[in-house]
Structure 1
Amino acid sequence: MALNNHEDARLVQQETAVGAGIQILLLALLGTATGLGPAGWVTGLAFAIATWALLSRALHRARLRSFGAANRVTLSRTVLVGGVTALVADSFDSAPPVPLLVGLTAVALFLDCVDGKVARRTGTSTALGARFDMEVDAFLILVLSVYVSTSLGPWVLLIGGMRYAFVAAARVLPWMNTPLPPRMARKTVAALQGVCLLVAASGLLPLVANLGVVLLALGLLVWSFGRDVLWLWRTERARTAAAAEAGAVREVSVTQPVAATVAASVAASVTAPAGEPVEAMLGAAQAV
């Protein structure tokens, strides 16, 4: 049994290595087709190595016996995101091939709608798969916001950086680590970020229209994150109030028996001069 588990783990790790190899192959194709410069090559290779290392470590911790069809779709999308990253990095030195950039991004966004359905239909949904999918989405939005910011301004980086700012804040404020309830609105807003940034990156619309589209995306994102942070804050306040109330009730429940015991002990220890209890003396006084 242990041997089979070891073999399964080795096969799972091999799939991540295959993904890294396909990523390098894509970079070679981009280099041939577009003359990818040093910045693109370095960034693309760094992305491939980092993805392979992080994913391998996560798979080792999760001890998955199979990589799964849904994760394969997400890994394919990761390869495309690596190509987009290389093209965006190279765009700072030379004009990027916009149609190729848009094409790779469009396919990556389409596959984002596929991996979740595959996971549900095959019954292979895992916490690792959901995290893998979310991180790829977040990084693609970050890369697109970097590219669009060169034409619309640095404020566009707020779109790509907001999720990472949320994660950083959660490290300082533990109450922000509370699991959020699933909401379709959150998923819809996240999907719209990629679509809006893709439209702006394509250059098909006038500058003013691109500005409006990206502002709409940012507004929706601020609303979504703001609602989640407010829910987390209210949940923490309610939890703190409940804990304080429970502590007060526990303190009263402990104090009352102790006080009663002490009172009974005092009453039992005090006796009348003739050896009669206090209760007898009180009864006699009342009779007089």
Structure 2
Amino acid sequence: MTRPMTVSRPVLRTGWRGPVVWRAWELAAAACVQMAAVALLRPGAVGLAAGIAYALAAWGVLEFAFRGRRVLRPADHVTLARVVLVGCVAALVAGRLADGGPAGALVALAAVALVLDGVDGQVARRTGTSSALGARFDMEADALLILVLSVQVATVAGLWVLAIGTMRYAFVAASWAAPWLRAPLPPSFARKAVAVVQGVVLTVAASGAVPYAAAFVGAALALLAWSFGRDVLALAARHRRARRGRGSHGAGRARVLDPVAR
């Protein structure tokens, strides 16, 4: 099948360094916007330090992840905006852990990030620029927002809420010991819906506006455990079938950088 053509932004050339990759400028600009936004939010010394550390870490990770591209694609810009918003939420959460304060700005920024979660995929499909890297970028932005929100809610409901934010990372860690967990999974509406539920429930719980929020968070955690459990069982069954099918031919060794299924 012929892939849709995309138009690449021209590469700027200078007289003394050669070609300048636009991606580097875009990611650096996002880091600067992130730090400026955190400063405007005034989350306190701890929050400011956390926001700056997040911006620098995100810049380094994304620069490495997108090292093969000269420019970011349209959907990547939307996801990058979400990463900036998550950084602002993280700074506010760190500030609240140190000094307390209202959660209004935190909840508002998290809500915008959740809304944009449905935008980047639409942009990728409409512009014909979908890619495995873009999908992974989107997924990691989701996971990071859920982790940050779970830290905030855990301060009120209890440390057990952190299970929501860390489950994805526990799955990734387990895949290093069991490479068959890195096998691709078929698309699932249920999996996507459960992920959306986590963000919405944690944002509402962080607002403090809903009574018995812990019960809703507990239900969300149960849904997430079911979703991960279902996928692990499916991957385990596939792994057993593959081992039986290989017979005496032996198994190919998993590559370290194989994409993680979830």
Q: TM-score when scaled to structure 2?
A: 0.86
Query: Deviation digits for residues 180-205 of structure 1, max 9, x if unmatched?
Result: 11111101101110000011111111
- The aligned residue for residue 231 of structure 1 is 234
Query: Is residue 2:24 matched to residue 1:10?
Result: no
Equivalent runs, 1:66-145 vs 2, <5 Å: 66-145=71-150
Greater helix proportion: 1
Q: Which has the larger radius of gyration?
A: 1
Residues 1:94 and 1:177: Cα distance change in structure 2 (over 3 Å): same
Match of 1:38 among 45, 48, 52: 45
% of aligned pairs identical? 52
Paired residue secondary structure (1:151): helix
Structure 1 residue 64 displacement after superposition: 2.1
Query: Is residue 2:152 matched to residue 1:147?
Result: yes
Query: Is residue 2:201 matched to residue 1:190?
Result: no
Ranges in structure 1 where 5+ consecutive residues have no aligned partner: 249-288
Structure 1 residue 65 displacement after superposition: 3.8
Match of 2:208 among 194, 203, 208: 203
Two-structure CA RMSD over aligned residues (Å) = 1.6
Distance in 2, Cα, partners of 1:11 & 1:105: 28
Q: TM-score when scaled to structure 1?
A: 0.79
Task: Please tell me whether the aligned partners of residues 13 and 59 of structure 1 are also in contact (alpha carbons under 8 angstroms).
Answer: no
Structure 1 residue 66 displacement after superposition: 2.7
- The aligned residue for residue 59 of structure 1 is 66
- The aligned residue for residue 29 of structure 1 is 40
- The aligned residue for residue 160 of structure 1 is 165
Structure 1 residue 97 displacement after superposition: 2.5
Structure 1 residue 39 displacement after superposition: 1.1
Distance in 2, Cα, partners of 1:73 & 1:97: 28
Task: Please tell me whether the aligned partners of residues 27 and 83 of structure 1 are also in contact (alpha carbons under 8 angstroms).
Answer: yes
One-letter code aligned to 2:185: L
Distance in 2, Cα, partners of 1:90 & 1:147: 11
Q: Which has the higher contact order (CA 8 A, sep 6+)?
A: 2
Paired residue secondary structure (1:92): helix
- The aligned residue for residue 217 of structure 1 is 220
Structure 1 residue 165 displacement after superposition: 0.2
Query: Deviation digits for residues 136-185 of structure 1, max 9, x if unmatched?
Result: 11011001001101111110000000000000000011111111111111
One-letter code aligned to 1:22: V
- More displaced stretch, 43-52 vs 121-130: 121-130
Structure 1 residue 9 displacement after superposition: 6.3
- The aligned residue for residue 260 of structure 2 is none
One-letter code aligned to 1:188: A
Residues 1:247 and 1:104: Cα distance change in structure 2 (over 3 Å): closer
Q: How many residues align?
A: 236
Distance in 2, Cα, partners of 1:28 & 1:152: 29
Distance in 2, Cα, partners of 1:127 & 1:96: 40
Distance in 2, Cα, partners of 1:247 & 1:80: 50
